[in-house]
Each structure stands twice: as structure tokens, then as C-alpha cells.
């Protein structure tokens, strides 16, 4: 079983839609969780950190469910510029990160 | 935050040769890492670059194939040795910056796109 699993998508949604991605993890000892955004041919950039029960930043909400070992990312009022690959990641315990395979989002006009 | 640059940004190499990738961070950072991202795949950690000592490699990666240097707190190199087409990938340097474990953020360089013929 992979350490981190994500639905690869693609998720095709219209502008203004709400979309949610889930990510499950197998290492129950993981303490720190992150969502990164990666545009085509670019490096990953941190979107949100998820440290405890979750957090919100504008249109983006991240949730952590330790009992079920998953994290989620909710994007409200999708914009065309939200089109990207969203990578779920977590600390390995050695300060490095392990990543999911990414979920591709395409927001349609 | 940390701004990371990598050189070269891309290269096309012949099999059997070696390429050294440089990573420069604009500030002193405690930890630096090297990842690989193969086409259509996610990132895989190659190793942690330790300042002043040997790198710590992940399972499946060895020092003879991917020697790493980190002479100071802002610079690291990764060499891809005796290359084969299977080494074609994007190689990304990253650095951990922040005030501590609860606030550290991992920043990534722009990557080096390597094609081996």
C-alpha cells in the first residue's frame, strides 16, 4: 500500500463550482500535512499547511481526520487559475516530505 | 521564506556520462533535500543533503549513483552518475525554512529537466 494515496483525476469542473479532493495516508504517526499546488512544468508551491483539525484560507479549506487517516482540500468558487495539480504531502518524521501522486484539476469556462 | 535556484535548468546528456546539478538557496537553511519527479509522476525523495557529512539516502538510491555534496548551509549539488535513459526526470532541490517544526515550510527549486539519450 502506498504511503499516500490520491485520486489522480482529472476533475473537470465549471467556473464557480466547489470541488473537494481527498488524500489518505497509511502512517498514523505523521504529524504534519500539506497541500502543494503544481502548475505544468513548474515546481510545487505550498498552498496550505494542515497541522491540527484543519484551516481555511480564503476559498480554500483543508481538513484533517486523524481517526480515518485522511486529509481533504475544498476549493470554493473555482477560478480558471485554479487549474493545476494538487499534491497531498506529509512529513516523514525526518523533516522530508512524502507525496501523493497528485490530483489534476481543470476548471472550465 | 527561501528562494532557490538550480543550474542547469535543463540538459540533454548521452548515456554513460554524468551531470552535476547545483542548488543555491538565498538564505541559510537547516535542511536541504533532493527529489526526483519522473514524467507524469509525483515527487520521490532521493536523499537528505547533510551539511558537512554524507547524505542520507532513501531506499532505492545509492551514493555511487547519486553523490551529493553540501559544503555549507546555502548550497548543495547532486550528481547523476553513469546515466541511462531511465534517469530522465526532473530533479528538484528543496530547503526547509522557518522558525521551527511547527512553522517550517519546504520550498522547492525550479527543477532541472534531464533527458538521457
pLDDT in tens, A44-75: 999 998 867 778 999 999 999 988 899 999 99
Conformation bin of residue A80: beta by default, left when phi > 0, alpha when psi is -120 to 50: alpha
Number of neighbours of residue B40 by Cβ within 10 angstroms: 8
Instruction: Give the pLDDT of residue A29.
Output: 80
pLDDT at B113 over 70: yes
Instruction: Give the pLDDT of residue B103.
Output: 67
CA angle B16, B19, B23 (to 5 degrees): 160
Instruction: Give the pLDDT of residue A7.
Output: 87
Contact predicate B112/B6, CB 8 Å: yes
Are B106 and A46 in contact (CB < 8 Å)?
yes
Kindly state the average pLDDT of the residues B65-69: 97
Task: Name the nearest CA neighbour of A100 among A90, A86, A83, A88.
Answer: A88
Among B43, B96, B114, most A C-beta atoms within 10 A, so best to mutate, is B43
Q: pLDDT confidence of B98, banded at 50, 70, 90?
A: confident
Q: pLDDT confidence of A32, banded at 50, 70, 90?
A: confident
Relative to beta strand A103-108, strand A11-14 is parallel
Which chain B residues touch A102 with a CB distance below 8 Å?
Answer: 42
User: Hunting for cell 505544468 — which residue is that?
Assistant: A40
Closest CB to A44 among B45, B101, B108 = B108
Q: Considering chain B, what percentage of its residues have pLDDT values greater than 70?
A: 96
Q: Does B57 touch chain A (CB under 8 A)?
A: no
Among B42, B49, B108, most A C-beta atoms within 10 A, so best to mutate, is B42
Q: Using one digit for the tens of pLDDT, what is the confidence trace for A67-97?
A: 889 999 999 999 999 999 999 999 888 889 9
Kindly state the average pLDDT of the residues A91-107: 91
- Tell me what the pLDDT averaged over chain A comes to: 91
Are B43 and A42 in contact (CB < 8 Å)?
no
Amino acid at each position: 500500500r502506498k504511503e499516500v494515496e490520491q485520486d489522480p483525476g482529472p476533475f473537470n469542473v465549471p467556473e464557480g463550482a466547489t470541488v473537494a479532493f481527498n488524500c489518505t495516508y497509511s502512517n498514523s504517526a505523521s504529524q504534519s500535512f500539506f497541500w502543494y499546488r503544481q502548475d505544468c512544468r513548474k515546481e510545487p508551491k505550498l498552498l496550505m499547511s494542515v497541522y491540527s483539525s484543519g484551516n481555511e484560507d480564503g476559498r480554500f479549506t483543508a481538513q484533517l481526520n486523524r481517526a480515518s487517516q485522511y486529509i481533504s482540500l475544498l476549493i470554493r468558487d473555482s477560478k480558471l487559475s485554479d487549474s493545476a495539480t494538487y499534491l497531498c504531502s506529509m512529513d516523514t518524521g525526518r523533516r522530508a516530505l512524502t507525496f501523493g501522486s497528485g490530483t489534476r484539476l481543470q476548471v472550465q469556462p | 521564506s527561501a528562494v532557490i535556484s538550480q543550474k542547469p535548468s535543463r540538459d540533454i546528456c548521452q548515456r554513460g556520462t554524468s551531470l552535476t546539478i547545483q542548488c543555491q538557496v538565498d538564505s541559510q537553511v537547516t535542511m536541504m533535500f533532493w527529489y526526483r519527479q519522473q514524467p507524469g509522476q509525483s515527487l520521490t525523495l532521493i536523499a537528505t543533503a547533510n551539511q558537512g557529512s554524507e547524505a542520507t539516502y532513501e531506499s532505492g538510491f545509492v551514493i555511487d549513483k547519486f553523490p551529493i555534496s553540501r559544503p555549507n548551509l546555502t548550497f548543495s549539488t547532486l550528481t547523476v552518475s553513469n546515466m541511462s535513459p531511465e534517469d530522465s526526470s526532473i530533479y528538484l532541490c528543496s530547503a526547509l525554512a522557518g522558525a521551527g517544526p511547527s512553522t517550517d515550510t519546504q520550498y522547492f527549486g525550479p527543477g532541472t529537466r534531464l533527458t538521457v539519450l
